[in-house]
Amino acid sequence: MGRYAQLFDLSGRTALVIGAGSGIGRAAAHGLASFGARVVCADVREEAAAESAAIIAADGGVADARKVDLRSADEVDALIAALPALDILVTTPSINVRKPMVDITEEEFDRVVGLNLRGTFLALRAAGRRMAQAGRGSIIAFSSIRSQVIEPGQSVYAATKAGTVQLVRTLAAELGPQGVRANVIAPGVVDTPLTAPIKQNPAWYQAYADKSILRRWAHVDELVGAVIYLASDASSYVTGAVLFVDGGWTAADGRFTPPL
């Protein structure tokens, strides 16, 4: 049993979590630190990143905070270049504009694509270069069930989430020979600041809960296990994969249970 007990141990590794100021990013950063990683909590909101680092430190972990705007190539490149080491990257930030596609403005399109897809690309590129030079590393990007299934009002967001999957798959194919793994986590409905408007509409919120096989929303802590798995040696032969953490949303067909 001895060697298998160490599969999830992240001691001695440095993890950068972009979007660590809240939601899934904060939970991921805390989880990585709990398994021994030194975590750099990065967020466009410096105070939120510092708060996440303080939570980790209070729990006995090692973390510090950095400000970064994922939309800025200069800031992303500078952040990653300044790290003494980089073994794990987790990137989570996203925004959404819920509108019929025929009503979406060019500015709204550019804003969503600029963060969700271009920003993710910038993080993948910078981390990929750094890890390829080191000959090791695990990159984890967050997509969504919307990379596979859609609903009205989700056109641009869904396109960015599908694009994230293909960016990560390409990076996995290109950097595998250098010892770098790249994977995607695709959550279902999760209670986060991004989904707060849905929670304010009880019928909408309940409809989403009922669509999943587990009949409920996820808590951000329920994404941490997938992050630890993909960051650690437990997934040493996993790359180019999409791990759905969606309560069975994409496995079940429709919202009606027929009489049986």
Catalytic residue selected from 157, 205, 208, 229: 157
CB atoms within 10 A of CB 137: 24
Query: Are residues 39 and 32 in contact, defined by beta-carbon separation less than 8 angstroms?
Result: yes
Nearest to 15 by CA among 87, 118, 63: 87
Distance between CA atoms of residues 157 and 38, nearest Å: 32
Say if residue 260 is exposed, middle or buried (CB neighbours under 10 Å; 0-12, 13-18, 19+).
exposed
Residue 4 falls in the annotated catalytic set: no
Q: Are 241 and 214 in contact (CB under 8 A)?
A: no
Q: Which two tokens stand for residue 173?
A: 């194919």
Q: What does the alpha-carbon distance between residue 184 and residue 61 come to, in Å, rounded to a whole number?
A: 25
Cα–Cα distance, 256 to 246 (Å, whole number): 18
Residues marked active site are found at: 157
